[in-house]
Amino acid sequence: MVSSFLVCMQRRTFAVPGSISSALGEAIAQAQIYLPLFLPSKVVLVPSLEVVSQFFAHCQTEFVRGTAEVVAREASKSFLGIPDEVLDESIDKLINEFDASLPRMVEAAQDSKKEFRFNESRCRDVFVDDPEFDTLLLLATVGATVYVEDEFVVQDSPEPLRMLHLRLGQCIPQHAFKLWESGKALLLRIADLPRRLVLHFNNSHWTSKPDADAGRYLFDCANIANGSTINSEYAFERAEEVYLKLSHPTILGILRGAVDLATLLRCPLSDLRLWKDDIKGAFGQFNFNPLSCYLLATQVAVGVVMIYIAGCFGYHACPLIFGVFSRAITRVLAVRCCGVVFVYVDDLIGFSHVSSAEADQTVAQELIINIFFRFLSR
């Protein structure tokens, strides 16, 4: 056992003194004290230290980079690469249908999927009375703008593929193809691009993901060799001005919400039920402003560029942008649900009386489907 372990949260790392074993043991002891306040004592059993330790060992194996890379490479072996016909069709559209105008091509691609995403009609139907309606409507009609400094330097050619990228075989190209299939990105051959089309090339990255052999694809816009980064402090500050600062619910705030609800209903905490949902592919439910999409390019295979047209993991303002939705959803559910609901980015956490918990969760699910045309995962 180690003498301390690290906790990483929101770009900060904290060293927690003591062994993992003693920390888990203390957590289990605290859970045994407080659990009866929320549930009848025989409904839920607190796991033993041995069970929790086994779970942590499983998580460690799951997130060991080398093992995960091998699994991801094997999982993508059957993918034969981004089809030539996709790349041929893309350049034909860009040149002949859109006169080499990337914004026009992006707008057309976004319009083809708007029925299945957050759009103006959904925005007006759900959020017309919301205090942030104007920002929501802008996201529905124009999309999220990527702000850059006046002196921004474009990296107009791709960097060599990283060693991680190469070790993963067809994994990243397969992720890119799926993004194209879902209408969240464009794919083009770099050699086919017209000279007048300038793109800012970012990098591709990847990380492991629990219960997903292919892992998670990441857009690395922070580490640029020969240009500026769209993940600059200036860009983040400008995004905060437009989309406002994030203020996440805390564990303490959520628990206080449960206590306040029980007090209001004059019932014991054990009469409340905790329910949770999360929104699938949350960031991909809003579009980028077509005029910004030239900044969102990355090489996903040798000679192939992907251009994001919808929200993604990696651009640092995406949580700020989705925060507009989180706050608006919280306000709607505060009116429609009998219990209390907290929204942490794309996670919904609710406390309701046992008599209304199922109905409250159904209300929340129907709202999310109405906004994003997306089902949730429990």
pLDDT at 283 over 90: no
The full set of domain ranges for the chain reads 73-247+280-326
Q: What is the pLDDT of residue 9?
A: 45
pLDDT tens for 151-207 read 999 999 999 999 999 999 999 999 999 999 999 999 999 999 999 999 999 999 999
Q: What is the pLDDT of residue 55?
A: 75
Q: What is the CATH topology of the domain spanning 73-247+280-326?
A: HIV Type 1 Reverse Transcriptase; Chain A, domain 1 (3.10.10)
Q: What is the pLDDT of residue 375?
A: 46
Q: What is the pLDDT of residue 376?
A: 46
Mean pLDDT along residues 93-115: 97
Distance CA 283, CA 262 (A): 34
pLDDT tens for 287-332 read 999 999 999 999 999 999 999 999 999 999 999 999 999 999 999 9
Q: Which amino acid is at 135?
A: T
Of 44 and 223, more confident: 223
Of 28 and 377, more confident: 28
Distance CA 326, CA 333 (A): 11
What is the chain's mean pLDDT, rounded? 89
- What DSSP state is assigned to residue 251? H
Q: What is the pLDDT of residue 378?
A: 42
Q: What is the pLDDT of residue 363?
A: 97
Residue 338, token pair as written in the block: 């009998």
